[in-house]
Amino acid sequence: MRGEEAALVRAARAGDDEAFGRLVRPCVAPSFRLALRMLADETEAEDAVQEALYKAWRSLPRFRGGAKFTTWLYRIVYSECVDRARRRRREPVSVASLSDTDVHGGGGGDGTGRGDSAKAFADPAAHVLRSEQRQIVEDALLRLSEPYRVVLTLFYIEDWSLKDIADVLQWPLGTVKTRLHRARHAMRKALSQTHIEGKRGFDG
């Protein structure tokens, strides 16, 4: 796989755009999810990913092969999202764009099988309950600061290793571990907060 990737990188650097397309295709969905978590806006996430991958294509001659191609690529995506978030200067407030009603094609063909639109027809009540639970978790996740949101997303949702996260975000490994630990605490707190607010809403 690594040899195939190297061959594709060589071809892409030589000007084979089809090879570049094959290289980035598996990275598009994870990039989009990362961008969506960071920007909380579907349109902007889509723009960010396209811009980042386009920049990667233009920067391909500068790719020396010191890091894995995917690491290099995700780093560009992350930087693009950081820039956009910085430009925007506001925290995401809407979670509508992250709701499960927008899930494309049953988990995106990544083998997780997490999309459950078919099951919704079989058991609507359970589906509604699951949707509500997801919304609570999404809401809590969006309350976290960007580094915590990103590290939780990459580690738990994308199943990246700590080393991969450290490489892409260019944080020391110890920082990744610390932030992950703190992010878990923050997430727990945010979920508790949602619990309290939900209770108030329910009572009131």
Q: Whole-number minimum distance, CB 150 to another protein, in Å?
A: 13
User: Which member of 91, 192, 193, 197 binds another protein (CB under 8 A)?
Assistant: 192
Chain residues 85-124 in contact with another protein, contact rule CB under 8 A: 100, 102-105, 107-110, 112, 114-116
Radius of gyration of the chain (CA): 19
User: Which member of 50, 71, 79, 175 binds another protein (CB under 8 A)?
Assistant: 50
Helices and strands in the chain: count of H runs, count of E runs: 10, 0
Q: Which amino acid is at 15?
A: G
User: Which member of 59, 133, 178, 193 binds another protein (CB under 8 A)?
Assistant: 133
> What binding mask, one character per residue, do residues 137-166 give for another protein by CB under 8 A, x or -?
xx--x----------xx--xxx--------
User: Which member of 88, 119, 163, 188 binds another protein (CB under 8 A)?
Assistant: 188
DSSP state, residue 15: T
Q: Whole-number minimum distance, CB 195 to another protein, in Å?
A: 6
Cβ nearer to another protein, comparing 54 with 178? 54
Task: Write the secondary structure of 146-179 as one string of H (helix), E (strand) and C (coil).
Answer: HHHHHHHHHHHHCCCCHHHHHHHHCCCHHHHHHH
200 is a contact residue toward another protein (CB under 8 A):
no
Torsion-angle region of residue 123: left (phi > 0), alpha (psi -120 to 50) or beta? Answer: beta
Q: Which two tokens stand for residue 202?
A: 């329910």
Cβ nearer to another protein, comparing 169 with 186? 186
Q: Which amino acid is at 9?
A: V
31 is a contact residue toward another protein (CB under 8 A):
yes
Q: Whole-number minimum distance, CB 46 to another protein, in Å?
A: 6
User: Which member of 8, 36, 77, 166 binds another protein (CB under 8 A)?
Assistant: 36
Name all contacts of 72-77 with Cβ < 8 Å and 24+ positions apart.
73/24, 73/27, 73/31, 74/27, 74/30, 74/31, 74/34, 74/168, 75/167, 75/168, 75/169, 75/170, 76/52, 77/27, 77/31, 77/34, 77/35, 77/48, 77/49, 77/52, 77/53
| Interface ranges with another protein (CB under 8 A) | 17, 20-21, 24-25, 28-29, 31-33, 36, 42, 46, 49-50, 53-54, 57, 100, 102-105, 107-110, 112, 114-116, 132-134, 136-138, 141, 152-153, 156-158, 184, 187-188, 191-192, 195, 198-199, 202
